[in-house]
């Protein structure tokens, strides 16, 4: 049921509008919805000066309100993300608590991001996300009998990036000595195009000269996908 307003209230609204008040200002003062007010004052013609004032006020309010709205929306998104992370955090320990699960995840990762046999002979795992690279290596070291001295690394980077600095970064992250890193030239296609992502560390390629291990990981991933897809 709609609220009934007195003639005195409507007259106050008319007086404020005639003085050049915006609908927002009147709504705040009178505690009346703007859509209700608009019907009451639709016949009142504002002067150009009054229209200019209202326009400037709207712009000023927007300039103040936008950052607040952006902040509120960002906080809402972060709260939403944190809620989901809380729901799934129990998955984090599965891989290292169960060797079979660990091998399964390692195989799936390799199927997605690894070089495949027979096009390539030997394990090559490529990614630009440091966490993915580290996690894959942790699984590989934990559940497969690898030799550290056979691990190699290659960093593919943009023209304006410091190759030596990137090597130091990835060496520390992977635990692979810098002497086991291949030399690599920057991507000439990026010359004259500044790197926009501040934390971009290039693309890291982990290499391990073992075709049997490569195909084992590939086969694990293929088996899981094939069965899940209903293949035979």
The domain boundary, picked from 85, 114, 145, lies at 85
Same domain, 79 and 110: no
Based on the domain organization, do 102 and 213 belong to the same domain? yes
User: What per-residue confidence (pLDDT) applies to 231?
Assistant: 63
DSSP state for residue 207 in the 8-state scheme: E
Average pLDDT of the residues in 198-211: 97
Q: Is the pLDDT assigned to residue 176 strictly greater than 80?
A: yes
Judge if 110 and 132 occupy the same domain. Answer: yes
Indicate if the pLDDT at residue 172 is higher than 90.
yes
Strands, E, within 15-64: which ranges? none
Q: Where in the sequence is the domain holding 19, given as residue range(s)? A: 7-85
123: in domain: yes
Residues 69 and 168 in one domain: no
Residues 80 and 154 grouped into a single domain:
no
Residues 174 and 144 in one domain: yes
Helix axes of 99-113 and 130-143: crossing angle, nearest 10 degrees: 130
81 and 120 fall within a common domain: no
Is the pLDDT assigned to residue 232 strictly greater than 60? Answer: no
In a domain, 129, yes or no: yes
> What pLDDT is attached to residue 135?
97
Residue 204 pairs in a beta bridge with 127, 155
Q: Is residue 207 part of a domain?
A: yes
User: Of 62-71, 78-87, 154-163, 201-210, which range is least confident?
Assistant: 62-71
CA distance 188 to 100: 43
168 lies in the same domain as 136: yes
For the ranges 65-69, 139-143, 155-159, the lowest mean pLDDT is seen at: 65-69
pTM: 0.70
Task: Examine the domain organization and report whether 76 and 120 are in the same domain.
Answer: no
- Asked whether residue 91 is domain-assigned, the answer is no
Instruction: Write down the pLDDT at residue 56.
Output: 82
Identify whether 191 is part of a domain: yes
Shared domain for 38 and 147, answered yes or no, is: no
Q: How many domains is the chain partitioned into structurally?
A: 2
- Report yes or no: 207 and 121 within 8 Å, Cβ to Cβ: no
pLDDT tens digits, 33-58: 988 998 898 888 888 888 888 888 87
Q: 93 lies in a domain? A: no
Q: Give the pLDDT confidence of 60-98 residue by residue, as tens digits.
A: 777 666 777 778 888 999 999 999 999 999 998 888 999
Question: Which region, left, alpha or beta, applies to residue 175 given φ > 0 means left and ψ of -120 to 50 means alpha?
Answer: left
CATH of the domain at 171: 3.30.1330
The mean predicted confidence, pLDDT, of the chain is 92
């Amino acid at each position: 049921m709609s609220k009934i307003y007195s003639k005195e209230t409507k007259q106050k609204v008319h007086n404020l509008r005639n003085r050049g008040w915006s609908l927002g200002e009147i709504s705040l003062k009178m505690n009346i919805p703007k859509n209700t007010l608009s019907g009451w004052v639709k016949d009142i013609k504002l002067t150009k000066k009054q229209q200019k004032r209202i326009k400037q006020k709207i712009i000023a309010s927007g300039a103040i309100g936008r950052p607040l709205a952006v902040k509120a929306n960002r906080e809402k998104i972060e709260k939403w993300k944190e809620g989901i992370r809380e729901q799934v955090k129990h998955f984090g320990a599965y891989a290292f608590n169960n060797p079979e699960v660990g091998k399964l995840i390692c195989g799936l990762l390799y199927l997605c991001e690894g070089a495949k046999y027979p096009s390539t002979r030997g394990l090559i795992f490529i990614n630009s996300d440091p966490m993915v690279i580290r996690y894959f290596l942790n699984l590989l070291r934990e559940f497969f009998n690898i030799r550290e001295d056979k691990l190699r690394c290659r960093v593919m980077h943009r023209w304006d990036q410091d190759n030596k600095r990137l090597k130091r970064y990835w060496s520390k992250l992977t635990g692979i000595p810098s002497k086991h890193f291949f030399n690599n030239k920057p991507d000439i296609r990026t010359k004259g195009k500044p790197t926009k992502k501040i934390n971009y560390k290039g693309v890291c390629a982990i290499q391990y000269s073992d075709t049997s291990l490569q195909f084992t990981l590939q086969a694990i991933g293929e088996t899981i996908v094939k069965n899940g897809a209903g293949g035979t």
